[in-house]
Each structure stands twice: as C-alpha cells, then as structure tokens.
C-alpha cells in the first residue's frame, strides 16, 4: 500500500511516499517559500534527484505540483495518484481531544481549527495541507497524527499548572507537550533494543526545538514542553523555563506582549545567549576560537538537560534507558557526554569511547557495560511513525 506523509508548514510542505508494510521510502521531497516570488522544490527517489524553481502561490497549488511530480513520466514513482491509498498528516496540536491518530472527518477538522488558538503558527498550515489532499486525493484515507497525542497519558499532577483551576476549565490551559511522534517512535525502538514492549525510558529529542519525556511502561508520564513548545529545555531560539515575572518586568520597561513573544520564541535560547547562532555546530566552532558566550551557551544547554534527566530519574525511580535523538542528540557526542557526566551514582554511566564512536544514523549503545541504566542513540523517524499509524488505519 502506498502511504503519503505530509508535513505542511506555513510556507513549506515536506513529504515522503512510503510502500507499506515494507516501510520503504519511494520518494521524499520539500517545497519551500510557498507564496513568494520563487518557490524551491526538490525530490529524491530511485529516479534520481530533481530540483526546480517556480512560483507556487498557495498550499493547494503546492500539493498539486507534488502530486504531478510523483506521477510525472520522467520523475514520477507512481503511475497514478489512485495508487496512494492513505495520507498521514502531521498536526501539531490536538488538545485534550485526541489521544491517538484518527481518520480526518468534518468533526476532526473542526477540532483542529478550535485548537489553532493554542498553536496559531502550526495548526492553520496543517489544515491547508489537509484541505488540499482531501480535494486532490478524495479516495485516499486521510489520517491526522498529532504531536500532542502521545502525551495525553500524563496524569493531572504532571499536566496541571499551579494557577487558578478556572483557567484550566475555561481556557484549557495545561501542559500538552510536543514532539510526541518522535518520542513515541524512539520509545518503541528502545523497547525493541531492550526486548520489551513497555519500556521505562527517558527520551531526549534535541534539535533546534528540544524536549525531554519521562516514559513509564511505554506511556508518557511527564514532558518538558507545556501549553506551547516554549517551556522546558534551552533550545535554538526558544528560552525554555524562565521566571514568569521577567515578562511583567519587561512590560514595565516598555516592551509589548507581541514583542516579548517574538523575543522568547525567536531571539532567545542558544542564539540569545551566544549572540552568534542557534546552530550548535556554529557554537562549537566559536568556542574553539575562544568565544566565551558560545562556551556558556553550550554549558547552559547541557546543565538544563542534566537537571531534567535527573528530575525524571526521580519521577520514574528505576529507568531502563536514556535515549538521545534529534539532530543534536544523534550527532553531538560532547553534548551527550556533558549531560550525563557525574550521574554514575544515579545509575547512568556513559562510555566515552562508545559515545565518540557512535555513527550518525545508526542505533547505538553508548553506555558502559556496568551501567544499570543503558544509554542509546536512536535516530528518530517521525515520518515513518506517521506512515505506520496511517497504514494501520487505512488498511482497516
């Protein structure tokens, strides 16, 4: 069965076409700068790499162009769009409504629109992709896969904030968590490596956006991101945890709420501390040249991650493994080592040699043989998890 996975952003569409259940990627591509004068398109498949530039005015035109490329006589990989039996859509926010992936109905679309208030930068473009695919692939099963769904198993003690309870009842203000599809995927892979279907693990998704999740017997019981993706770890441009009174103080200095929203989401984190970049690779280069702000940005990143790992070790008690994933988690041995250094008495012993030798893109054990808690590097594959969910629903 052919399954198309769509990740529709505000000005981009990422996609992968899978053959299931073989889990084979037939084609993958990216359309960027939708709505601008020139849009950029690239696709990789067995037919080779294909790149082009043209004006794509909106998401509907973008989906049309993607489907025409997938069926093109020269660049295409399927004879007809009718071969695509399922479409899995990444949807960022499903609120309290969705605990798993679902077939997209009118009611589901209404709920996604309702939760756009909590994810204004994500849910509306996610819906654009849904509307376009429903129009041009009417016979395919359309499935919504929510970033928040995996975290709906959080208990009230973890998801409620210590603010007036009426805010939760009236406005649904609570911790939702994000990156759920990634945390679910690496949890399942950790379970396979540990030979158990219900692992107790701490999963660390570290990229430009970062989050960490405590998973007990296969279920998320706490996670670092909150009502929005701003809470938690230090990230590329997001501040993570701060004293909320900072906002009131800066408002008194003349900053507007809109300005501070931009500052904390787009000008903080690694970029804000270093003043150089949100890219960890650039910060390591700057640190090697003696830049002190790059050095402290890296140290703060590792320190905050270590605090969360320690907290979740306390929450879970006994933990089977700590898992690193995401661009930084998979590729940066120093970040992994510094974040776990000194945790031997807590039962986590990283092997420095194994850690340094971990090859990008491969599942690797990097803990010492005598470590009570294993440490894994597991490449995430959110697109495959979306395809798996979509295939499971579409075949039935």
Residues 49 and 42 sit within 8 Å (Cβ to Cβ): yes
Which conformational region is residue 327 in: left (phi greater than 0), alpha (psi within -120 to 50 degrees), or beta?
A: alpha
> Which residue is catalytic, options 72, 147, 166, 243?
147
Maximum distance among all Cα pairs of the chain, rounded to whole angstroms: 62
- Runs of H (alpha helix) within 238-325: 245-252, 257-266, 269-274, 280-288, 292-316
CA distances (Å), 295 to each of 150, 235, 335, 344, in order?
35, 15, 12, 25
Task: State whether residue 130 is helix, strand or coil.
Answer: helix
Task: Give strand ranges (E) for the chain.
Answer: 2-8, 13-19, 24-32, 39-45, 48-54, 84-91, 102-103, 141-146, 201-206, 210-216, 219-223, 321-325, 364-365, 374-377
Give the position of tokens 């990097």.
366
Round to whole Å and give the CA distance between 114 and 97: 11
Task: State whether residue 213 is helix, strand or coil.
Answer: strand
Round to whole Å and give the CA distance between 101 and 58: 26
Task: State whether residue 159 is helix, strand or coil.
Answer: helix
- Cα 145–chain centre separation: 12
Give the position of tokens 């250094």.
341
Residues 227 and 176 sit within 8 Å (Cβ to Cβ): yes
Round to whole Å and give the CA distance between 162 and 45: 50
Residues 58 and 65 sit within 8 Å (Cβ to Cβ): no
Q: Count of H helices and E strands in the chain?
A: 15, 14
Closest CA to 122 of 101, 148, 96: 148
CA distances (Å), 212 to each of 184, 207, 231, in order?
12, 11, 11
- 279 is known as an active-site residue: no
Active site amino acids: 147
């Amino acid at each position: 069965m052919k399954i198309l996975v769509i990740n529709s952003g505000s000005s981009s569409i990422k996609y992968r076409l899978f053959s299931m259940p073989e889990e084979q990627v037939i084609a993958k591509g990216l359309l960027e700068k939708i709505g601008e004068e020139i849009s950029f398109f690239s696709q990789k498949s067995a037919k080779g790499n294909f790149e082009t530039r043209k004006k794509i005015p909106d998401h509907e035109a973008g989906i049309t162009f993607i489907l025409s490329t997938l069926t093109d006589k020269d660049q295409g990989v399927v004879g007809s769009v009718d071969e695509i039996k399922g479409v899995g859509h990444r949807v960022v926010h499903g609120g309290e409504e969705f605990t798993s992936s679902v077939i997209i109905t009118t009611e589901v679309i209404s709920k996604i629109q309702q939760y756009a208030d909590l994810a204004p930068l994500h849910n509306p473009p996610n819906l654009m992709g849904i509307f376009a695919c429903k129009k041009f692939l009417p016979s395919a099963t359309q499935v919504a896969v929510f970033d928040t769904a995996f975290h709906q198993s959080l208990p009230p003690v973890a998801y409620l904030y210590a603010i007036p309870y009426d805010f939760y009842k009236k406005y649904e203000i609570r911790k939702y968590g994000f990156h759920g599809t990634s945390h679910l995927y690496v949890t399942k892979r950790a379970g396979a490596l540990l030979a158990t279907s219900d692992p107790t693990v701490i999963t660390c998704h570290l990229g430009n956006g970062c989050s960490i999740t405590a998973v007990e017997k296969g279920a998320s019981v706490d996670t670092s991101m909150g009502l929005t993706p701003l809470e938690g770890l230090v990230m590329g441009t997001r501040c993570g945890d701060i004293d909320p009174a900072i906002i009131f103080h800066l408002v008194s200095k003349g900053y507007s709420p809109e300005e501070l929203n931009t500052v904390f989401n787009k000008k903080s984190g690694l970029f804000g501390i270093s003043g150089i970049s949100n890219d960890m690779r650039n910060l390591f280069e700057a640190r090697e040249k003696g830049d002190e702000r790059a050095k402290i940005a890296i140290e703060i990143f590792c320190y905050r991650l270590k605090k969360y790992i320690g907290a979740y070790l306390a929450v879970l008690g006994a933990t089977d493994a700590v898992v690193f994933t995401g661009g930084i988690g998979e590729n940066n041995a120093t970040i992994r080592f510094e974040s776990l250094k000194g945790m031997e008495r807590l039962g986590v012993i990283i092997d420095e040699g194994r850690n340094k030798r971990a090859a990008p893109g491969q599942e690797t054990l990097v803990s010492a043989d005598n470590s009570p808690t294993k440490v894994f590097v597991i490449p995430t594959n959110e697109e495959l998890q979306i395809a798996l969910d979509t295939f499971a629903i579409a075949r039935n």
